């Protein structure tokens, strides 16, 4: 296949993506010590206009990372603290009667923003969790039969704590499938923890972090990422990986076609961050676990023997032939 220059993203857009990616790492790095790999994946999610689920133990910086990402974008930011008594109308908004005008007026909920942090999403009831489905997929909300479009770009960053299970509700598969990435934070190394103590002794970097890109400019970079070239052999590689999850004996539910699209889009973004206008199989392999693992459901027998979704994907990556150009 011959690729015409006009089919690829302009060189100035490729250069701008690399510049913004570097500044994004530096910006978020003032708050989050280490974990440059996680920060890079978060920027890739921004370029895909995808959503992120951060799951790890308390106190490792999930909320701080989400707030740092939001502050790096010159757009509106809202935070939703999930509790069992949170109602869907508390999220999407509600129509209230204005006594002065004698008319009902819509009061927007906190989900109507560019960047939305949903803290401890698994503490919301299934009824409230379901109101996020339309937001995440269609980028709109419906309140009292009225449909309101969300501002673009729109990104939802959810956090959850896998340790405390009392008073929590497991996210359904339909909702997990709408998250582009699931990222664990992990504990810092000894050196990183020492630097963390030193940095936060008499300063609060999160309060002084500045935006590095406007919402409008981010939209243009997102459009450029969608033009990153994917060779048919690499697209076949993505398809083979996702189809292998549906046939694996250790899995009860494999990756959906939405997962295939997510893996392709994330690979395009990662290629752009690394200064390439084409996708390599290595991009796909690096993203396979964060994009696919949370979408898979293990067979009970496999779980009993300690098999994890990450291990299944690693096994699939070792067996699916890698395309060679």
The confidence score (pLDDT) of residue 325 equals 65
Q: Which of 161, 177, 309, 170 is nearest to 248 (CA)?
A: 309
Nearest to 182 by CA among 75, 279, 45, 27: 45
- State pLDDT tens for residues 198-223: 887 777 777 778 888 888 888 888 98
Question: 305 or 92, which is more confident?
Answer: 92
What does pTM read for this prediction? 0.89
Residue of 115, 132, 134 lying closest to 124 (CA atoms) = 132
Of 168-182, 277-291, 298-312, the one with minimum mean pLDDT is 298-312
Domain 8-214 has CATH 3.40.50.300: yes
Q: For residue 107, what are its two tokens?
A: 């009061």
Q: Which of the two residues, 179 and 33, has the higher pLDDT score?
A: 179
Q: Where are the alpha helices (DSSP H) in the chain?
A: 11-29, 36-48, 62-71, 88-92, 126-138, 173-176, 190-199, 205-208, 215-225, 232-247, 257-273, 281-292, 300-304, 309-319
Domain with CATH 3.40.50.300 in the chain: 8-214
pLDDT at 115: 87
Over the chain, what is the mean pLDDT?
86
**Tens of pLDDT, residues 53-82:** 988 887 777 888 888 888 888 778 899 999
Range(s) for CATH 1.10.8.80 in the chain?
228-325
Nearest 5°: phi and psi at 182? -120, 120
pLDDT at 166 over 60: yes
Express each pLDDT in 103-122 by its tens digit: 777 788 899 988 899 999 99
Residue 304 has pLDDT above 70, yes or no: no
Q: What percent of the chain has pLDDT over 70?
A: 97
Average the pLDDT over 236-244 and give the result.
94
Q: Is 250 helix (H, G, I), strand (E, B) or coil?
A: coil
> What CATH class has 228-325?
mainly alpha
């Amino acid at each position: 296949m011959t690729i015409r220059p006009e089919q690829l993203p302009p060189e100035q857009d490729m250069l701008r993506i690399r510049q913004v990616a570097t500044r994004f790492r530096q910006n978020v790095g003032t708050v989050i010590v280490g974990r440059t790999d996680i920060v890079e994946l978060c920027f890739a999610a921004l370029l895909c206009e995808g959503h992120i689920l951060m799951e790890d133990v308390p106190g490792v910086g999930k909320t701080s990372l989400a707030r740092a990402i939001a502050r790096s974008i010159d757009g509106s930011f809202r935070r939703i603290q999930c509790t069992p008594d949170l109602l869907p109308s508390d999220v999407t908004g509600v129509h209230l009667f204005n006594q002065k005008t004698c008319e009902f007026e819509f009061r927007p909920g906190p989900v109507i923003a560019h960047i939305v942090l949903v803290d401890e999403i698994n503490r919301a009831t299934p009824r409230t969790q379901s109101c996020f489905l339309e937001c995440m997929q269609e980028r709109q909300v419906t309140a009292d039969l009225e449909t309101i479009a969300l501002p673009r770009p729109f990104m939802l960053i959810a956090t959850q704590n896998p340790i405390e299970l009392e008073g929590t509700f497991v996210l359904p598969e339909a909702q997990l499938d709408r998250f582009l990435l699931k990222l664990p934070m992990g504990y810092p190394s000894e050196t990183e923890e020492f630097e963390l103590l030193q940095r936060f002794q008499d300063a609060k970097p999160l309060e002084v972090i500045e935006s590095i890109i406007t919402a409008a400019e981010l939209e243009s970079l997102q459009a450029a990422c969608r033009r990153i070239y994917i060779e048919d052999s690499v697209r076949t590689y993505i398809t083979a990986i996702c189809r292998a999850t549906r046939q694996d004996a250790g899995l009860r539910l494999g990756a959906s076609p939405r997962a295939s699209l997510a893996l392709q889009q994330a690979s395009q973004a990662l290629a752009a961050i690394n200064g390439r206008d084409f996708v390599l199989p290595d991009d796909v392999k690096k993203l396979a676990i964060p994009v696919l693992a949370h979408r898979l459901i293990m067979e009970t027998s496999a779980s009993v023997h300690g098999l994890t979704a990450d291990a299944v994907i690693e096994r699939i990556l070792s067996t699916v032939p890698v395309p060679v150009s």
